[in-house]
Amino acid sequence: MKDELDHPHVAKVIDHGDLSGADETWCAMPLAVGSLADGIASMRGNLASVTDLARQLCAGVGHVHERGILHRDLKPGNVLRSPEGLWQVSDFGLAREDARVSQALTSTLAQGMGTFIYASPEQWQGPKRADVRDDIYSIGKILQHALTGELPLVGADQIPESLLRPVIQRATGPRDNRYADVLALLRAVEQAATVKELVWEEPGLRLERLHPRLAATELDAVAADELARWLSTLDIDAEIHVAAKAFLGASSVTIDYLWSTNPQAFYEGWRHITEWLKFEEHDFAYCDVIADAVREVIQITGSNDVLREGVAALVRVGTKHNRWHVRDVLVDVLQSVRDPERALAGLEGLQEVGPDEVVWSISDFAARTMHPVVRQGIRNIRRRLAS
């Protein structure tokens, strides 16, 4: 099971085996920093956090369901927090393949009221007939707990009014009327999330929540998709300085995912970010972080538009803050250009800033190693500055 369930929102199983003399299995997993049970009460009333939790649970459970496996024991204690801040579904002690039957559920659920609260009535009454809708019920009860901050002992119709309440009501209602699969549940969550008051979150807190997940070497598509939505809907004046840091701190796998998923939206976000880079004051050390991130984005996308905006931003950041590393990265980027089309895009980037900035950024010696189109363009800029 450990290989087929490999997913950012499913806790990894490093190894497993049978306990000697007992009809039980042991599993070794990476160290977690806690479980949802530890902090679920702190989500009370925070619709953005609950929505984010829903997305991650749906991603993990959906991956499990796609492989024909039911979890059957979803609850806050079985949702672990990774060091990168991801919510990960764990503890598959009651999991079974959809085609099998099992009587193990009843005795395990009876061990504690906690599990009983999150299990559907149908699953409790007939564990052999459990299907994906019973896991959906459990997700709904977890979301109810997170939204209200209280154990979900009452029906969803009795919880306070919320944009997510109708979603929870259907997820935890009669089995025949529940969402048919996790994808349908996720679509309902996303539909609720389109309402602006639901998704707004204090930008600094949003950065703190997303940054470690975006920076992780393993793709967290849920966090990446949220960043994409953020960049497409943000208040430029109020939030760009925070959203840009989230983007510039993202790993190469995240950048590659965002670019391959929607290049047009990526470029629009990139244009806002590079404009902010050009006119904002930055800490000296952060200028070097900016330069390395811009170079990586240019390399990953291979886009002429991204190159043009990135070159202009590097020139402006380097000259404005007198950062030699930024200048070195700019030279490296332009020296890597090999074809005339990209050379023209790079030259356009240089022409968007002041000629004095270009002269400071690129020495005559460095220009000699660049594509002829760029080299000749720099010479023309130098001539105009001298005249």
Predicted local confidence at residue 99, as pLDDT: 40
Question: How many whole angstroms separate alpha carbon 355 and alpha carbon 367?
Answer: 14
Short-list 161, 73, 171, 90, CA closest to 124: 73
Bridge pairing between strands 25-28 and 15-18: antiparallel
Three-state SS at 155: coil
Topology at the third CATH level for domain 15-194: Transferase(Phosphotransferase); domain 1 (1.10.510)
Q: What is the C-alpha to C-alpha distance for residues 185 and 377, in angstroms, rounded to an integer?
A: 55
pLDDT per residue as tens digits for the range 176-207: 999 999 999 999 998 888 776 566 678 999 99
DSSP 17: E
Taking only the tens place, the pLDDT of each residue in 347-378 is 999 999 999 999 999 999 999 999 999 999 99
- pLDDT above 90 (res 19): no
Quick: pLDDT tens for 269-294.
999 999 999 999 999 999 999 999 99
Residue 128 confidence (pLDDT): 73
Which H helix or E strand runs over 79? strand 79-81
pTM value surpassing 0.75? yes
pLDDT recorded at residue 11 = 85
Mean pLDDT, the chain, integer:
87
Q: Report how far residue 167's alpha carbon sits from residue 163's, in angstroms, rounded to the nearest whole number.
A: 8
- Count of other CB atoms within 10 angstroms of residue 185: 27
Given a cut of 50, whether residue 111 has pLDDT beyond it is: no
**What's the angle, vertex CA 267, arms to CA 304 and CA 333, rounded to 5?**
40
> How many other C-beta atoms lie within 10 A of the C-beta of residue 6?
11
CB atoms within 10 A of CB 317: 26
